[in-house]
Amino acid sequence: MKSAHDSLRLIADRLADERAAAHSIVATLRASLETSWDRPLPEAWRTLGFVQELTTAATEVLEQDPAQSRALAQFALAVGTAVPRADYPAITVVQLEGQAWKTLGTAHRYLSAHDAALRAYDAARRCFAQFGALADEHAAVDLAIAVVFSEIGKFDEALQLIAKAADVFASFSDEQHAIQGALLKAMIHHRRGDLRLARSAYEYALRSAQHRDDLHTLAAIHNNLGHLLAELNETSAAADSLARARDLFAGLEMPIEVSRTEGGLARLLLNNREYERAIALLQPARRHFLSLGMIEEAGVAALDIVDALVAMNDRAAAQQLTETVLAEFRAARLDRAIVAVAYLQDLLREHPAPSASIHHVRSYVEQLRSDPARVFLPLPE
C-alpha cells in the first residue's frame, strides 16, 4: 500500500507547490486581468494549482466585487482548458473545474444574471456527477441552484433540491451546508408568506448555527429572523435580532451587510413612528450604497426616507429627494425603476395620502434586484 500512499503525497505536494507558485501571480493578475485575456498563457500558468488559486481569488472578492469574481472564475476556466489533463488524476481535474464553474455561477447570481448562473451551475454538476466521491460538491451545487430557483420564484423546485441535498450533507456530517439549506428553506417559507413555518425554520437554523464558528451564517439568520419578527409586529425581538446581525457583520468587516441591516432597523423604527431616528440610520446607509455604485439599494434607502418625510409632513423635502433618486436612476439607466419613481414623483405632488404608494414603489424597486424584468403596475385607485 506504500505506492498509493506515495502517489497521494505526490499529488498533494504538487498541487501545494503549484498553488504556492501561483499565489503571488494571481494577486498581481487581479489588477491586470483585462490585458491578460488576449496574451498567450505562459506555460507556467497551465497548472491545476493555478486554476485553484484563481477560483479561490474569485471567491474572496465575491462579496465586494462580483463582476471581478466573475472575470476571475472565467479566467480559471480558460486556464483549466489549457492544463494538460493527463498529468493529473481525472477526479482532481473535474473537481477543480467544477469548483470554478460553481464560483462562476455564484458570481452571475450576485449580478442577478439567473440564466447564466444556472448554465454555469449545470456545468459544475456535470463535472461533479462523474465521481461518487464528489457527492458533497454536487449537493452544494444543488443548494446553489435552489438559491437561484428561490430568487426567481420556483419555490417547489427549490424545496425539492434542498431536501435532496440535505440527505447528502447529513451523510458527510457537513453541518455548514446543512445549516445553509435550513436557512434557505426558511427564506422560501418567508417569501411565500408562510410566516409560522418560516419562523420555526429560522429558529431551527439558529439553534443549529449557534454552536458553530460560522458567524457569517449566524448573522444572516439573525437578519432574516429580525425581518420576520418585524412582520409579526414583535418589534422588540425584531430589533434585538437585527442588532445582533449588524454587530456580527461589523465584526466580520462586511460594511455592505452592515448598511443593509441598518436599513432593516430603520424600517423597524419607521413602523414604530420613530421617523427622525430612522432617517439618521438611513442617510449614512444611502451614502454608503451610492459610494459603491449600488444605485438601486441607495434608491430603496431613499424611498424609506421619503416615507419618513411624508409621515413628518415635510412633503417638499420628500419631493426633492424623489427627484434626486429619479436623476440617479436615469444616470444609471434603470429604466423600469425610472417608471416607478416617476409615477411616485407625480403622486407626491397631488395625492393627499401617498404612503401606500411609497411602500408599493419601494417594494417594486427592491424586487427588481432579483427580478429585473418585472413590470411596474401602479396601485389601483
Partner 1 sequence: MLQFCTFIFTELPTALVASERQINLQRADVGAVYEEHRRLLVGTAVSRYGIGEDDAETLVHDVFLAYIIKADEVVDVRSWLIGAICNASKHYVRTRARSVGLPPDIIEEPDPASVRVVDQLPAELAARECFACLTPRCQLALRLRYLEGYSAPEIAAELLTSAKYAQKLVSRCLQQAYDRYQSKGAGK
| Least Cβ distance, residue 216 to partner 1 (angstroms) | 5
Report the alpha-carbon distance of residue 112 to residue 305 in Å, rounded: 26
Question: Residue 39 or 333: which CB sits closer to partner 1?
Answer: 39
Set of cell numbers at residue 287: 451614502
User: How is residue 331 written as a grid cell?
Assistant: 444616470
Q: Which is nearer to partner 1, 189 or 338 (CB)?
A: 189
79 binds partner 1 (CB under 8 A): yes
Distance CA 90, CA 99 (A): 14
Binding segment (CB under 8 A) for partner 1, from list 133-141, 287-295, 317-325, 373-381: 133-141
- Window of 116-124, 158-166, 325-333, 336-344 that interacts with partner 1 by CB under 8 A: 116-124
Kindly state the smallest distance separating residue 53's Cβ from partner 1, in Å: 7
Closest CA to 256 of 288, 302, 217, 303: 288
DSSP string, 110-123: HTT-HHHHHHHHHH
C-alpha separations of 85 from 47, 48, 72 in Å: 9, 9, 21
Is there binding between residue 37 and partner 1 (CB under 8 A)?
yes
Residue 89 as a binder of partner 1 (CB under 8 A): the answer is: yes
Among 25, 78, 243, 250, binds partner 1 (CB under 8 A): 78
Size of the site for partner 1 (CB under 8 A): 96
Q: Which is nearer to partner 1, 23 or 323 (CB)?
A: 23
Q: Is 135 in the site for partner 1 (CB under 8 A)?
A: yes
Q: Does 228 bind partner 1 (CB under 8 A)?
A: yes
Nearer to partner 1, 38 or 350 (CB): 38
For residues 230 and 310, which CB has a smaller minimum distance to partner 1 in the complex? 230
Q: Return the sign of the alpha-carbon dihedral for residues 63, 67, 68, 71.
A: positive
Q: Which parts of 165-194 interact with partner 1 (CB under 8 A)?
A: 168, 171-176, 180, 183-184, 187, 190-191
Asked whether position 219 contacts partner 1 by CB under 8 A, the answer is yes
Residue that has been written with the C-alpha cell 471567491 in this structure: 59
Please tell me whether residue 99 binds partner 1 under the rule CB under 8 A: yes
Site for partner 1 in 244-273 (CB under 8 A): 245, 257, 260, 263-264, 267-268, 270-271
SS3 sequence, 322-349? Answer: HHHHHHHHHHCCCHHHHHHHHHHHHHHH
Question: Which residue in the set 40, 293, 352, 380 belongs to the binding site for partner 1 (CB under 8 A)?
Answer: 40
* CA proximity to 55, closest of 98, 25, 13: 98
Which residue, among 287, 318, 303, has the nearest Cα to 365 in the 3D structure? 303
Q: Give the CA radius of gyration of the chain.
A: 23
- Give the closest residue to 75 by CA, choosing from 111, 109, 101, 112: 101
